[in-house]
Chains A and B, each alone.
Chain A
């Protein structure tokens, strides 16, 4: 059970405090309700580029990192298709430094042309390092584009193409900031060796004076039900054929999400999972095989992905996966196998909750989903899933018409 206190400032900023006096440290986590899904299709990669710019100086403080490091702290940030999250950890005595820094960059950035020019280059190098200069690096660019026709999950967080990042203009930066980086669209979580009263005073002092801004109302085109299987063949200079197939699954808060999560565990979670045992160990068709999803807020994709053992045809590989999926649709999963994946989920949650930083991060995430209290009911949602749920949901999603297949051929 993770305990916390919640209050809201007059400007609409939500603040959560999680006290843990076993640690000498404090964590300040600021989550902004904006991700790559909120981008203009012609200016993709912007939410992530923007994350870089948040370190390029704010209106009253020329340098973000330096004062934090001087206070013994460290920080980082990440952007996903759904949200942008900034977090820092520092000795609890120095927590006011984090309030000072975080509130100033919520008040306003410096909008430095130099910072924009440099970070455009840095992000282009990041793009190259992770997606262009790696074998199979473009798989998810292709797959997203195949699986989503209208929803902005069509593109990757890094952006659809280098030119979108290269062309980012300072006016875009300003507009984006004042639309999304406002107290009404943010959640502040403070955790560690802190007291709620003190945090309340600090929050009012530093964040209280920031204009609340307008609440961003998200109105994204939802992906229509897919009615026909989509297939794409590509050729690339890679050593091995790869096979990637996805099926649309439910959004983060739907019951189907939890069932899908357990299905990925049954199919691909660990050395005793079904796909690994049948297709890597027994039939020896794949040299590696993974089954996963990204846990996205809107409807996501359940994915099976693997590299083929040389000599295996795409058809053999696809049929063997289909046979395993048919099994899971037709034969009820035994109690012991279901218990196994539930036990695994219990332990994943326990390990995640070990670090105060990860607790702070989770609280912000669940608050974004509607209520931080969801964090404490999560395990029960998994526990309540039955064999019947698993069978029914696997029949619902593992339909050919709901699928997207990428055949990645070695040239």
Chain B
């Protein structure tokens, strides 16, 4: 029998899958620090993340939060930067730190067998970082140099500016760093920020992987006695100051051969009823390789290597963003095509074939993301920090399966109107 290769093999529609989110074990340390723990996976590896409410939302001066976070590895009252690094690296472990808007994190990846050697030094960093002046000077100089290089890149500039337009330069989501900010930093500010937001801050711990039997006990002995969760995190209101002008064209490099295009409009956070449904609309629009923006602007016109749209993952206010780097001479044509695609979504319902493809694709992706302990804990962390629970997961999955084209068209009309978008090209 000859094989007929033109006939698609039968598939099980991913929308028929019953997706289950593996439950996260929750407990508290003696001082009230909540721990979320996910025991899964086959490799003998472990991830532990300490999340502090120590993002730039809480700083009084630009880059104090980011610098404090960065310098957590640069010295404690017992160890200098080299010996901190050497300690973790000797055990093949990775200690990373990242600063976001509301939160700042310390993340440990290690082989499960080494964890007890590593935890005490993480505690030392939280309790007794000292921010040596010399380290601060080195950091300052090297970061300034790095910034100088980044300022030559059109995508870097565009990312900064579009956030400034949407949120305002004073807002934690809209502000950015200048070389002057580095000069203005002083050590005492870092010490004070660390004391308030780390040493006596509010912390949540996430762990995932092959969890050793006594990990809960170890965490409690080491972190449960620290003076954390004593004071509430301050409630600070940062008003938005969006730009009144909407369209910007900037030449950063006269010789540039590409332009970085960003288009954005304000969009509510995940507590808004439209949020999950718009994720579907966004997928159709520019959220994956088969999206309309990608099909039209890359696969049909060849204007760019890639074009994407997404909803920014912010705790407070968000934005719906379109982002691409396109040939200098086709930037305006690209923007025009983006608006055309918005227009089509507003005026014509998405046909059932396309919608079912996107549904299946999205459910397949979620299924893939539920695989592996680190991915799972990252989803849980996102839920916990955004103040939602597992119902959010089941609701979103239900939305993917049931939201119809009529409702999506209404959402397109509500959000995808060109007048509400900021528009920026940086060459």
Using CB atoms and an 8 Å cutoff, list the residues of chain A in contact with chain B: 20, 22-25, 59-61, 65-67, 69-74, 89-91, 93-94, 96-97, 99-100, 103-104, 107, 117-126, 128-129, 132-136, 205-206, 209, 237-240, 269-272, 277, 280-281, 284, 287-288, 307, 309-310, 336, 339-340, 343-348, 350-351, 353-356
Contact = CB atoms under 8 A, between A and B. Distances in A.
A65 B289 contact: yes
Contacts of B85: 270-272
B142 interface: yes
A118 B300 CA distance: 7
B368 interface: yes
A272 B11 contact: no
Contact of A239 (B141, B145, B371): B145
A309 B89 contact: no
A44 B200 CA distance: 59
A403 B217 CA distance: 53
B142 A288 contact: yes
B86 A309 contact: no
Interface string B1-14: 00101101111101
B294 to A, nearest CB: 9
Prevailing SS type, chain B contact patch: mixed
Contacts of A288: 142, 146
Contacts of A354: 41-43, 45, 372, 374
8 contacts: A60-B5, A72-B365, A74-B361, A99-B9, A122-B302, A125-B325, A340-B86, A354-B42
Nearest to A343: B92
Given A91-B367, A343-B91, A310 B305 contact: no
Given A74-B364, A100-B8, A133-B256, A117 B372 contact: no
Given A25-B371, A119-B302, A134-B153, A340 B90 contact: yes
Given A117-B302, A272-B89, A284-B138, A350 B43 contact: yes
A96 B9 contact: yes
Interface of B: 3, 5-6, 8-12, 14, 17, 41-45, 73, 81-86, 89-94, 109-111, 138, 141-142, 145-146, 148-149, 151-154, 253, 255-258, 288-290, 298-305, 325-327, 356-358, 360-361, 363-365, 367-368, 370-372, 374
Contact of A129 (B141, B258, B361, B363): B258
Given A132-B257, A134-B153, A270-B85, A74 B365 contact: yes
A263 B42 CA distance: 30
A351 B327 contact: no
Contact of A91 (B17, B358, B374): B17
Contact of B73 (A107, A117, A271): A271
A270 B364 contact: no
Contacts of A120: 302
A271 B10 CA distance: 53
A238 B327 contact: no
